[in-house]
Amino acid sequence: MANRINIFKHFSLLFVLLFTSFSVFAYEPIDKDKTVEVAPLDKHENHGEKKFNAGELIIGHITDAHDWHIAGEGEHSISLPLPVILYSSQRGLSVFLSNKFEHGHKTYNGYMLEKNHIVAVDEMEQVDAHHATVNEEVTHGLWDISITKNVLAMFVSFALMLWMFISAAKMYKRNPGQAPKGMQGLLEPLIIFVRDDIAKSAIGEKRYHKYMPFLLTVFFFIWINNLLGLIPIIPGGANVTGNIAIGMVLAAIVFIITVVTANKHYWRHILAMPGVPIGVLVLLTPIEIFGMFLKPFVLMIRLFANMLAGHIIALSFFSLIFIFAEMNTGLGWGVGVFSVAFTIFMGMLELLVCFLQAYVFTLLAAMYFGSAIDEGHDKHNHHDDLDHSRNF
C-alpha cells in the first residue's frame, strides 16, 4: 500500500512539474506580445480611433484596480467604485470612493489615477487629470492602502471561508460523533487530506498539530481564491492568487514559521553541515543560506505564475475572437466556436490546477516546516526527508 502511494506521489509531482513548466512557457510569449502591442496602442490613440487591444484587455483584467469592472467598456462601462484610502505624512489621511476620479479623467483631493496607480498632484481642487502636474515628493511618501479589487475579492473569500468553516464547526459541535452532513461532508475529506497526506506525512505524527491552523488556512485560502478567480462575474474573477503580493505574504509567513520553529539541528545543517570539510563549507554554507530564502521564493513564483497563466490563457482565447472579428465578422464567429471550446477545456484544466496549486503550496510549506524540526536522530525519517527534498 505505501509503495502505491509513493508511485502516486511521484506521478503527481511529475504532473505538477509539467504544469508549472507549461504554464510558465505559456506565460512568456503572451507577455512578449503585450510589449509588442503597447507601441501600436499609442499610435491608434493618436489617430483617435479605438481598436481592440488584446494586451491592454488582458493586463487590465489580471492586474489590481481601484474599481471593479462589471460590464461594458470605455466611458459607458458599469463598474463598482471601491474606497480609496491614502496616507501621506504631508497631507494626512484621505478616504473617498474611486469613482471621484471618473476613470482617471479627473483629480480629486489632490490625487489622480495614473495607469492604475494613485499619484499626488499639486492641484488640490478637482481639475482635468490631463492638465494636472504630478507632485513627486508627496507621491514618494504616499501610502496607498485602498480597498482595491483584489483586497475586496480577498475579503469576499475570507467571508466565505468564515461562513463555511464556522458553520461546519458548529455542525460538529451539534452532533458529535455522527457521520458528516452537508458542508461538513464537503470539507471533511479535504481537512483530513490536509491533515493526513500533507501535515502528517511531511511534518511527522508527533508535531504536526502546531502547524495545522496555518496549513489548513493557507490550503483553503489558495484553493477558494483560485476557484473564485475562475468565475468571470463579480465577486469572482479577481486575480488574487495570481498576484505577486499575495504569494509574497504567504511565502513570507512560511519563511517566518520555518525560521522561528527551526531547531538546532536545522541551523547546524545550514551553517555548518556535519561531516563536511571546512574548504567545502565555505562554498556550501552560502548556498544553504541562499536556499533558505530560495525555497519560499520559489513557492511565491510557482503560485503566482501558475494562476496568472491560467487567467491569461482564458482571456487570450476570448481575445482571439475579437482580433479575428475585427478582420471579418464571420471569421470572428467561426473562431469563437473554437475559442469557447478551448476555454472550456482550459477551464477544466484550471479546476485541476486550482486544487493542485493549493496542494503543492501547502505540501511544500509543510515539508519546509518538517525539515526545520527534523531531529535527525531517526535514521529513517531523515532519509525520508532527503528523498522528498530531492523530488522537488
Q: How far apart are CA 289 and CA 34, in angstroms?
A: 36
Which 150-209 positions form the footprint of another protein (CB under 8 A)? 150-151, 154-155, 158, 161-162, 165-166, 168-169, 172-173, 176-177, 187-188, 191-192, 195
To another protein, the closest distance from the beta carbon of 128 in angstroms equals 25
For the beta carbon of residue 294, count every other beta carbon within 10 angstroms. Answer: 11
To another protein, the closest distance from the beta carbon of 4 in angstroms equals 23
Q: How many residues bind another protein (CB under 8 A)?
A: 49
- The verdict on 331 binding another protein (CB under 8 A) reads no
To another protein, the closest distance from the beta carbon of 366 in angstroms equals 15
Beta pairing class for 78-81 and 67-71: antiparallel
**Cell numbers representing residue 125 in the block:** 481642487
To another protein, the closest distance from the beta carbon of 158 in angstroms equals 5
Q: How far apart are CA 123 and CA 131, in angstroms?
A: 10
To another protein, the closest distance from the beta carbon of 125 in angstroms equals 25
3-state secondary structure string, 9-57? Answer: HHHHHHHHHHHHHHHHHHHHHHHHHHHHHHHHHHHHHHHCCCCCCHHHH
Which 24-83 positions form the footprint of another protein (CB under 8 A)? 59, 62-64
Which 99-138 positions form the footprint of another protein (CB under 8 A)? 115-116
Q: How far apart are CA 245 and CA 55, in angstroms?
A: 22
Q: In terms of DSSP H, where are the helices of the chain?
A: 2-47, 54-62, 136-140, 149-174, 183-193, 201-203, 212-230, 244-261, 264-271, 278-327, 329-372, 379-391
To another protein, the closest distance from the beta carbon of 32 in angstroms equals 13
- The verdict on 246 binding another protein (CB under 8 A) reads yes
Q: How far is CA 270 from CA 203, 262, 285, 286, 287, in A?
A: 19, 11, 6, 9, 9
Which of residues 13, 24, 212, 351 is near another protein by CB under 8 A?
Answer: 212
- The verdict on 339 binding another protein (CB under 8 A) reads no
Closer to another protein by Cβ: residue 222 or 320: 222
Binding site residues, another protein, CB under 8 A:
59, 62-64, 85, 115-116, 143-148, 150-151, 154-155, 158, 161-162, 165-166, 168-169, 172-173, 176-177, 187-188, 191-192, 195, 212-214, 216-217, 221, 243-246, 248-250, 253, 304, 308
